Structure 1
Amino acid sequence: MSEDVPVKGLRRVELRSNDPAGSAEYYRSLFGWIVMSADDGTLRCWVGDRLAALIRRPADWETPGWHPVLGGRPTALLADPTGVTATLDPGRVRHGPWAPAPRHGEPCWLELMTADTTDDYWTRHLAWTVRADSDVKPFALYDAPDDTGARAIAGRLLVDTVTAANVGAGWMCYLAATDITLVTDTAVAGGATLLIEPREAPTGVIAAFADPYGTVCTLLEDPAGWGGAWS
């Protein structure tokens, strides 16, 4: 696919975990994922007929946590000047503004947290455009245009260097939750640390917790479409 054709969504997210089986069981208890082992040793987690996540051990050079796999381009690994990465993978886009509405446990939004503006890198490689939000100065939207008009495909939030060092810079993948309070309560009962109690945000009602393995999971309650309110 030509680089002037925009990437329009995710094929899946990867959860790179030092305990793939433990992570899979933990998130299965929260979202009801159907977990299946693949021949390559990865665990594939399904919501109905859509692959929501792939869980595997990180390679020596990879950072544990969520990693976006964007669809519609030849296979490649992108790394911006700050070291934030995303993978390109050819094939059908399962999650995004042109895909069906997210179901409970599916990816429903992407947000780049960064201490440095790397908009030029992502817009150049993914054929996205930047839309600044006047109400939230550090925040901007990445839009993916097509013949029907541009749609918000991801957010970008500038954070200070201290926050980036403590929380980490990179892509935050939101998962849809039909009842966000029930999911966060279940997560905490299973050993998670609640980082953000359910509260209103520009996308809708969000929450975040660190799972027992140290991965931060962000939730968006019952989004009507990709990005919740941004849809």
Structure 2
Amino acid sequence: MKLDVPVIGGPCWTELGTGDLDAAKRFYSELFGWRPRTDPHREAGGYSVAHLGDAAVAALAPLYQEAQPVAWNVSFAVSDADAAVRAVRAAGGTVVLEPMDVLDLGRFAVVFDPGGAAFQLWQARSFPGAGLFNAPGTLGWVELLTRAPERAGSFCTTVFGWSVRAGEHCTQWGLDGADFGGMVTMDDKFPPEVPAHWLPYFAVEDIDDMARTAVEAGGTLLMEPRTVPDGPSIAVLRDPQGAAFGVYPAGLEG
């Protein structure tokens, strides 16, 4: 990912919704060396921010609704959450959670694109998002998996103004020439019950070693380490509670 700080329109944060917060803390701390700190405010509901050094890099949180799936979620930075929600609706998306304030940290909303992929909008106040990208244990790439690539592409470029670089195997998203993510069409290899979704990739030093470590810690390999045509070596994993995520070479710039 060529972005190294949160910018408007780009990915700024990723958080896990999990049914076993303590187990998730243990698993990801073992993988990435994270130090989770739980927000002491009652209204935070156990929300825990993972740190590497002094940098906040991701969050782990309990499930807040019965229907909420165990999954990683990706947030995109916007200058005005309310205006962004209006743009989502106008482009054919659906609003799940209307814009709301989060203490003095910022304002956020949860939406679906027309293909059913959920993501979050974040209007920063005191908290801009992740303090570190592309280093081992931090967000390195975001990928949209969808069964409706044409609708998704039109939606994303309309709402965020992303550039599109279409390749034979993957479409890449960018802002002012800085690629930060991609889009993959979900084919018959994906079970029909798997919805469209955004998949975060975390940067690591060694893909094979990380895959082994994840399995030994109770995770599952969804896609064994492989080299993407004209791209890097990647793998897709699932944590013990069922949340999928990818791993990606640290320091790679899209």
Q: Same fold (TM over 0.5)?
A: yes
Map 1:8-23; keep pairs closer than 5 Å. 8-23=9-24
Equivalent position of 1:112 in the other structure: 144
Equivalent position of 2:98 in the other structure: none
One-letter amino acid matched to 2:143: E
Q: Is the 8 A contact 1:47 1:103 kept in 2?
A: no
1:195/1:76 CA distance change after superposition, 3 Å: closer
Q: CA deviation at 1:8?
A: 4.2
Correspondent of 1:140 among 157, 171, 175: 171
**Inter-partner Cα distance in structure 2 for 1:156 and 1:213:** 25
Equivalent position of 1:159 in the other structure: 186
Equivalent position of 1:210 in the other structure: 238
Q: CA deviation at 1:165?
A: 2.1
**Inter-partner Cα distance in structure 1 for 2:249 and 2:224:** 12
Q: CA deviation at 1:199?
A: 1.8
Equivalent position of 1:3 in the other structure: none
**Inter-partner Cα distance in structure 1 for 2:68 and 2:137:** 24
State whether structure 2 residue 30 is matched by structure 1 residue 29.
Answer: yes
Q: Is the 8 A contact 2:73 2:198 kept in 1?
A: yes
One-letter amino acid matched to 1:43: S
Equivalent position of 2:157 in the other structure: 123
Higher mean C-alpha deviation, range 107-116 or range 7-16: 7-16
CA displacement, residues 48-93 of structure 1 (integer Å, 9 cap, x when unaligned)? 2322211112223432211001124333323111221111112235
Q: CA deviation at 1:161?
A: 5.3
CA displacement, residues 28-50 of structure 1 (integer Å, 9 cap, x when unaligned)? 01110011010211111112232
1:47/1:203 CA distance change after superposition, 3 Å: farther
Q: Is the 8 A contact 2:205 2:249 kept in 1?
A: yes
Give the secondary structure class of the aligned counterpart of 2:179. Answer: strand
**Inter-partner Cα distance in structure 2 for 1:61 and 1:132:** 35
TM-score normalised by the chain length of structure 1: 0.82
**Inter-partner Cα distance in structure 1 for 2:129 and 2:17:** 21
Q: Show structure 2 runs of 5+ residues with no match.
A: 1-6, 82-107
**Inter-partner Cα distance in structure 2 for 1:164 and 1:52:** 31
Q: Is the 8 A contact 2:17 2:62 kept in 1?
A: yes
**Inter-partner Cα distance in structure 2 for 1:160 and 1:31:** 31
Equivalent position of 1:80 in the other structure: 113
Equivalent position of 2:130 in the other structure: 94
Equivalent position of 1:64 in the other structure: 70
Q: Is the 8 A contact 1:114 1:157 kept in 2?
A: yes
Moved over 3 A (4+): none
CA displacement, residues 1-20 of structure 1 (integer Å, 9 cap, x when unaligned)? xxxxx834332101011111
Q: What is the alpha-carbon root mean square deviation over aligned residues?
A: 2.1
1:221/1:116 CA distance change after superposition, 3 Å: same
Aligned sequence identity (%): 25
Correspondent of 2:50 among 45, 58, 65: 45
* Residues paired across the two proteins, number: 210
**Inter-partner Cα distance in structure 1 for 2:135 and 2:186:** 30
Q: Show structure 1 runs of 5+ residues with no match.
A: 1-5
